[in-house]
Each structure stands twice: as C-alpha cells, then as structure tokens.
Amino acid sequence: MAPSSSSPTTPSPNDRRRGLLVILSSPSGAGKSTLARRLMEWDETLSFSVSATTRAPREGEVDGTHYHFVAEHDFKHMVGQGEMLEHAQVFGNYYGSPAAPVRKAIESGCDVLFDVDWQGAQQIANSTLSDHVLSIFVLPPSIKELRRRLETRGQDSDEVIEKRMRQSWDEISHWAGYDYVLVNDNLDHSFERLKTIISAERLRRKQQPGLLDFVRGLQAEFEEAET
C-alpha cells in the first residue's frame, strides 16, 4: 500500500528550537555595535547577555539590567564552579558572562547576543554551551576606512583613536577563529548577510530538539500505512 497523502499529525520541529549564543566581535569602528542594534530591532526575542562585574554601580545603573553587580569573592566562586562562560579582569575589576541565564534562554528557544573580544569569544566557544555558539567577526573594508569611521563618529579624543587603531590589528589577527567573517563595506548589505547567517544557523539539526521525535512520527505513519 502506498503511503498516505494526508498531512503528518506530528507538529513541525521548526516550531520549537534551541537558542543560539551569537558572538559578534570586531575592532572598534568596524560597525559591530550598529549591526547588533539592528539585530535587536529585527528580532525582539534576541537579547544581550547581561554581564556580571565586581565594580560598583555607576549613577543610573540598575542591577540585573545593565550588569549583575557581585562581590569579588562571589565572582571568583562562580568562576571556580564553572558558572561563567567567559571572564576577564579590566582595570582592577572583574567582568564575566554568567552561564545560568544564558542556558535558560537557550532551552526556551531564545538567542543571546554577546559583544566580546576574541579572548571572550574563545572562552565561550570552549564552554559547556559550545554546541550552540555562533561566532561572527566583522572586518572593516580597509584600515584607512576604519580610522575615518573612528574620527567621524566624534566619540573619542585623538589619543583614544590612536590607541584603538593600535589595538585593531591584534583584534583582526584572530579573524580565523570565527565561524563567519563579514567585511562591512556596506552596512545594509552586511546586515542582510548577518540575518541570513542567523536564520540558517537556527535551522541546524542540533538546534531542533524535536526533530528526532518528528522523524519517528513519520516512520510510525509510514509503517501504519504499509499494514
């Protein structure tokens, strides 16, 4: 007997998926922050990872919104227990990404966006959540254009710009450690490519926990039709 032409009763696995840890890295001025903002506007289910820090809150900062403010001994305990996806010490204070809220988001099918440097990206890629990591590096079209962007955005002094330019090659030299690399020569085109990458990665087999049961349902339907 030929298989039935009726639609499968098992729900599509595309209706349920695991979330992604989307890492964006780039030298300052390459357009990463603008692309991240556009991603958040494109898909409101995307959220930024809220980092933990041992520094004191600044005026207007809200615990749990801007940062998770923790004592240094608590931070070190979390690191020791493997509860940080990545961490670093900056100017005497510790910063890191707690794993628990990210794991919860992933299991609920929500993507989490990370704006980290290559060292943070490497730590996350080697973490317990590595199966769900999507890392993307954003390159400028040229070093000359990178400098122009830093100068025209008007946020930094000449001294800071020179410091950022000196640091830029160290960041760029780690481009090969990422899953995807985008040359941001046109912001609109780069954003379209970025959306394509994320949309495709969401459909990977490992991101669809219901796929096995779905295929088993197809098999059962087929076997029933054969009898």
pTM, 2 dp = 0.82
The C-alpha atoms of residue 151 and residue 173 are separated, in whole angstroms, by: 22
Q: Which of 66, 69, 25, 18 lies closest to 45, judged by CA?
A: 18
CATH class of the 13-49+110-226 domain in this structure: alpha beta
The C-alpha atoms of residue 184 and residue 106 are separated, in whole angstroms, by: 28
67-72 contacts at long range (C-beta below 8 A, 24 or more positions apart)? 68/98
Predicted pLDDT at 6: 42
Predicted pLDDT at 5: 43
CA dihedral 83, 89, 91, 92 (to 10 degrees): 70
**Domain residue ranges of the chain, discontinuous segments joined by +:** 13-49+110-226
In the structure encoding, which two tokens stand for residue 207, read together?
């991101």
Query: Strands of 68-69's sheet, edge to edge?
Result: 68-69, 52-53, 93-98, 84-90
Sheet strands (E) in the chain: 21-25, 47-48, 52-53, 68-69, 84-90, 93-98, 112-115, 133-139, 180-183
Q: Walk along the chain (227 residues) and give the pLDDT tens digit of each residue.
A: 444 444 444 456 556 789 999 999 999 889 898 999 999 999 988 998 999 999 999 889 999 888 999 999 999 999 999 999 999 988 789 999 999 999 999 999 999 999 888 999 999 999 989 999 999 999 999 999 999 999 888 778 888 889 889 989 999 999 999 999 999 999 999 999 999 999 999 999 989 988 888 899 999 999 888 87
Predicted pLDDT at 15: 62
With contact defined as beta carbons under 8 Å apart, do 57 and 63 qualify? yes
With contact defined as beta carbons under 8 Å apart, do 172 and 58 qualify? no
